[in-house]
Chains A and B, each alone.
Chain A
């Protein structure tokens, strides 16, 4: 499989970036961290917009940077989406889209029509950027990056400058990109929601260093790392809508290892759904609970137990078939239930949210 290998060392006054990454050559890799963690610098180094004094970068075996080579940005087969759409003000939307298209000699993997259709901007082509809304501008920016038929798409917080409504407007398009295009996407963000919704692979940065990297679900379920999406820890499960219960307005989402009943959101059967399961919303018991209001109870096995932030709490990783859940329960409960790795448990899931 294609891979991206990146090693960068950057020293600026008050900031050091020292990274060694080996990223998958497909799917969405979220580069997640607070501001100042170096995530944008990493992306700019990969694009060649910033030159790390010491670095190595290869994409599918092609060396873009080493001690002797530094491929300039315009010769790298990438697409880049900036935080602000940064459309050329002197060109129309179509002029912006064509700018890169006419200059990319690469085979046309993404046709202009496809990019326009993917981002839903067919009606805007003759307009000038100043006459677009923020969300429309960013969609044009994404389509413009796609129109060069990049072999990798780099996105630097493409939603950060937009309000909630505009984010919701664009996220479905990003999901389509992820699901329909065969190119890897490096997605820089500080938003847990966007990670939960889009990422397949997670790289967490802190102060210019990698604190965790791996497939999303696996990385979120690690007990030794302080990776959290939002207020509390939790995992993301991806499944498909498998069944609809018309009477109770519920739908069943099947994921590898089990399934969960959720409020019916009217999604078609077979539709892919990402669910966030926060660790505070799970309780554990040794026996199945019969007379409970809780809809979802899953049988699993304790895999590991670790500490949470507060000394009263433990984090218990429970394996459910091919998936894992992370449950936050009190240390007293761990002791009372005699939980330890290998013990079978029932996980009651009080809350599941569709990732959005």
Chain B
């Protein structure tokens, strides 16, 4: 077998994590991006900067704060205790939550650009054609921003796959729960299993290249939409 069962488990976990994070961010990122694209509030700057923070912060910094928040004395920790759920650090769902924050700008920024490109006019036209604001969003803004949704989803998925620092801070290295592909490669290297590290690294490299290729090949068409 080209990859061993540990590798396959890590890949499966990575795909599961990236899919769930992408799905959550599609729901969470849409209203944030819409607000950032449409609002003239003075909070637009601070909120936009906050969303963009994970782009520049070292993952260890983000992971550190998230770990504190999810810990027994943090707000998230309080919440999980009140709800009677197991603490989030070093669990798959803790990793999901951390990744949602970490990948947020990769969802929000392309969506915000797409919504800004739609502009005011189509929304005004829809209003004069009796569509309520919510109706307008789903029948005009969303279809017109569809290329942006594809870009945002691909970037979010790929970026989550590429996570490492935050995973180590929040999730550690638990097989089947938090040991994603990037951590698995790290393990192989630490254990001097260069052959296995090579194979998994090659899979990651090819995957990343294909994702970006799809994105760039698709973009020119997106412009027309």
Contacts and interface: CB of A to CB of B under 8 A. Distances in A.
Nearest to A141: B125
Contacts of B132: 74
Given A89-B144, A90-B144, A90-B225, A74 B122 contact: no
Given A74-B132, A99-B139, A103-B135, A89 B127 contact: no
A349 interface: no
A92 B120 CA distance: 20
B121 A103 contact: no
Interface string B212-225: 00000000000011
A73 B135 contact: no
Interface of B is mostly: helix
Contacts of B39: none
A90 B143 contact: yes
Nearest to B135: A103
A104 B130 contact: yes
A82 B125 contact: yes
Q: How large is the interface on B (under 10, 10 to 19, 20 to 34, 35 or more residues)?
A: 20 to 34
B4 interface: no
A305 to B, nearest CB: 47
B130 A103 contact: yes
Interface in B126-149: 126-133, 135, 139-140, 143-144, 146
A72 interface: yes
Contact of B128 (A73, A84, A88, A89): A73
Interface of B: 121-122, 124-133, 135, 139-140, 143-144, 146, 224-225
Interface of A: 47-49, 72-75, 78-80, 82, 84, 86, 88-90, 99-100, 103-104, 130, 144-145, 148
Nearest 10 CB-CB pairings of A with B: A100-B129, A80-B128, A103-B130, A73-B127, A90-B143, A74-B127, A86-B125, A86-B121, A104-B130, A74-B130
Given A90-B143, A104-B130, 6 more contacts: A74-B129, A75-B130, A82-B121, A100-B128, A103-B129, A144-B129
28 contacts: A47-B128, A49-B128, A72-B127, A73-B124, A73-B127, A74-B128, A74-B129, A74-B130, A74-B131, A74-B133, A79-B128, A80-B125, A80-B128, A82-B124, A86-B121, A86-B125, A88-B125, A88-B126, A89-B225, A90-B144, A90-B146, A99-B126, A99-B129, A100-B128, A100-B129, A100-B130, A145-B128, A145-B129
